[in-house]
């Protein structure tokens, strides 16, 4: 009889040691999960200074003693999908906190939770009523004729529409992970939306349910979002910081407001299915959204590995606007990583503050078109590198 290559006693000793480690980890995980956990999100102090229907405006007072080279107020507009709390998810990785430390006078729109009476609100209501009223409120409150506007995802699309229709009120425009070109097959979401019967969907639900959208997002990458993520949790249950951050993210993901039915329907039809926005053929309240009227400086930031707004859906914008001062910045991260990853926390807000500082006093000038072209070349190289990697793997009335 052939002798085993590894003595039985060594195998048994290893099994006993592994069992001991598992028991130790299980006990530590039990103590953490049954103990006191800090899982609060959106903890940076703010005051609600404006309210109209379900829409509110948050103002984050700058930290005492902080001086900023950016004097113009910054208004942040989040998407109707999920909530703006993403920008203040956890201590140490808060976009809101980083802006305040830089002394930026920060305002942020909270779209609230739509009810049945909101079903027939359109994109025009959100852009030309709610957003326009908020912008006018900030301008009146701060005494600035123009403000800096930063849009995120679908909120970015709204800001692009707003800037084209009301350019006289926007000093600088910043778009982040913002879909504007919907004629791309880079992301599964874009392929699905081209074929969805949105009329039947809204006839059935009224408003588009947030839970249903979340389910769809999970199906975009089920292996990673429904399996790997929870395996990772099981493997790190004995790490308190990991557990707290995991729960914060889960609380944000499943705090998903519905989207007003007519707005959702219009966004799917006019943008995903007809691609009207990027071609300046979108009309709101009878007025054409002409991107050539976006003549203010534009900073466009997106993620190389964004599966919801892939680079092809975001990087066409700068070539379509009328501004001579545009810049694309492609970060090595995904849709949410831009706001929460420790790596991009060191790049995202500092880049925006620097870019705004250079344009605070126009006499000092910005990067200009020449700088933009140079950046484009960098973006193109990143996309080519990413394509190579993928190939390998394929193996809102005023209350003062």
Asked whether the beta carbons of 101 and 60 are under 8 A apart, the reply is no
Among 59, 54, 47, 140, which Cα is nearest to 104's? 59
Asked whether the beta carbons of 333 and 301 are under 8 A apart, the reply is no
Between CA 371 and CA 391 the distance in angstroms is 31
Between CA 173 and CA 295 the distance in angstroms is 10
Side-by-side strand order, sheet with 55-60: 47-52, 55-60, 106-110, 74-77, 147-152, 170-176, 298-303, 326-331
> Which residue out of 153, 178, 271, 330 is catalytically annotated?
153
- Say whether 159 is catalytic: no
- Which distant-in-sequence residues (6+ apart) come within 8 Å of 280 by Cβ? 164, 288, 289, 290, 291, 292, 320
Token pair recorded at residue 385: 């590198």
- Which distant-in-sequence residues (6+ apart) come within 8 Å of 360 by Cβ? 69, 70, 71, 72
Strand partners, 75: 107, 149
**Residue burial 104-133, b: 16+ Cβ < 10 Å; e: rest:** bbbbbbbbbebeeebbebbbbbbbbbbbeb
- Which distant-in-sequence residues (6+ apart) come within 8 Å of 240 by Cβ? 32, 37
Token pair recorded at residue 255: 């705090």
Asked whether the beta carbons of 348 and 97 are under 8 A apart, the reply is no
Between CA 263 and CA 81 the distance in angstroms is 12
Among 160, 180, 196, which Cα is nearest to 293's? 160
Q: Catalytic amino acids?
A: 153
């Amino acid at each position: 009889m052939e002798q085993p290559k590894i003595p039985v006693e060594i195998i048994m000793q290893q099994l006993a040691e592994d069992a001991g480690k598992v028991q130790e980890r299980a006990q530590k995980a039990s103590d953490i999960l049954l103990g006191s956990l800090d899982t609060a999100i959106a903890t940076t102090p703010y005051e609600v200074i404006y309210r109209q229907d379900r829409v509110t405006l948050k103002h984050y007072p700058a930290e005492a003693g902080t001086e900023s080279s950016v004097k113009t107020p910054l208004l942040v507009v989040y998407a109707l999908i999920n909530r703006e709390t993403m920008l203040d998810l956890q201590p140490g990785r808060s976009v809101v906190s980083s802006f305040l430390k830089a002394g930026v006078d920060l305002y942020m729109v909270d779209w609230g939770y739509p009810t049945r009476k909101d079903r027939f609100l359109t994109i025009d209501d959100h852009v030309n009523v709610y957003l326009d009223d908020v912008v006018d409120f900030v301008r009146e409150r701060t005494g600035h004729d123009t403000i800096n506007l930063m849009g995120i995802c679908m909120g970015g699309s709204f800001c692009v529409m707003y800037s084209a229709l009301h350019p006289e009120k926007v000093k600088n425009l910043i778009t982040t992970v913002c879909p504007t070109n919907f004629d791309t097959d880079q992301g599964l979401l874009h392929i699905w939306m081209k074929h969805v019967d949105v009329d039947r969907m809204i006839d059935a639900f009224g408003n588009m349910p947030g839970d249903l959208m979340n389910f769809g997002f999970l199906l975009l990458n089920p292996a990673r979002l429904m399996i790997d993520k929870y395996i990772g949790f099981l493997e790190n249950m004995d790490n308190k910081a990991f557990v707290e951050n995991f729960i914060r993210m889960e609380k944000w993901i499943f705090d998903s407001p519905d989207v007003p039915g007519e707005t959702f329907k219009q966004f799917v039809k006019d943008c995903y299915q007809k691609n009207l926005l990027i071609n300046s053929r979108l009309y709101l309240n009878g007025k054409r959204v002409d991107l050539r009227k976006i003549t203010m400086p534009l900073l466009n930031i997106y993620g190389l590995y964004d599966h919801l707004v892939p680079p092809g859906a975001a990087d066409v914008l700068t070539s379509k606007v009328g501004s001579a001062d545009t810049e694309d910045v492609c970060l090595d991260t995904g849709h949410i990583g831009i706001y929460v990853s420790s790596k991009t926390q060191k790049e995202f807000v500092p880049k925006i503050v620097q870019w705004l500082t250079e344009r605070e006093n126009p006499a000092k000038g910005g990067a200009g078109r020449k700088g933009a072209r140079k950046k484009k070349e960098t973006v193109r190289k990143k996309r080519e590198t990413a394509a190579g990697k993928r190939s390998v793997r394929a193996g809102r009335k005023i209350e003062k």
